[in-house]
Amino acid sequence: MRILVDQDLCATSGQCVLTLPGTFRQREPDGVAEVCVATVPQALHAAVRLAASQCPVAAIRVIESDAGDDERASVDPAPSPAGAERHPAKDQRNPGGHDGTV
């Protein structure tokens, strides 16, 4: 799973940061939302979908497929079961929180 934030649309409400502080952050200085992980571990998939659905301006787009790790791959609507096995560390709360993909 990957996440895209439409930064033109973002209303800087900070709602996603309140929901998932390790996955989203607010850019300095203007508060526009950023994603701070490259890919989302399986354990957080449901929480990320929730954060996306709660964004007041629907600026968060969730790309379910891990095939998306290949930049040119098209969006696969069905989550790949293999994806789950590639992220076995389900208890890892805040992975990649500082690996700065922004």
Partner 1 sequence: MDVQETTAACRDAFAELASPARIHDPYPFMHWLREHDPVHRAASGLFLLSRHADIYWALTATGDAFRAPAPGELARYFPRAATSLSLNLLASTLAMKDPPTHTRLRRLISPDFTMRQIDNLRPSIARIVAARLDGMAPALERGEAVDLHREFALALPMLVLAELFGMPQDDMFGLAAVIDPILKGLGPHASDPQLATADAASVRVQAYFGDLIQRKRTDPRHDIVSMLVGAHDDDADTLSDAELISMLWGMLLGGFATTAATIDHAVLAMLAYPEQRHWLQRDAVGVKAFVEEVLRRDSPVMFSATLRIAQRDIELGGVVIPKNADVRVLIAAGNRDPDAFADPDRFDPARFYGTSPGMSTDGKIMLSFGHGIRFCLGAQLARVQLAESLPRIQARFPTLASAEPPTRETSEFLRTFRALPVRLHAQGG
Query: Beta strand 24-26 with 33-35: parallel, antiparallel or unpaired?
Result: antiparallel
Write the CA distances from 62 to 4, 91, 94, integer angstroms: 6, 21, 18
Q: Does 71 bind partner 1 (CB under 8 A)?
A: no
Length of the chain: 102
Site for partner 1 in 2-31 (CB under 8 A): 8, 11-15, 17-20, 26, 28-31
DSSP state letter for 71: T
Using the minimum distance from each CB to partner 1, give the nearer residue, 1 or 59: 59
Using the minimum distance from each CB to partner 1, give the nearer residue, 3 or 83: 3
Task: Give me the residues that bind partner 1 (CB under 8 A), please.
Answer: 8, 11-15, 17-20, 26, 28-32, 50-51, 53-54, 56-58
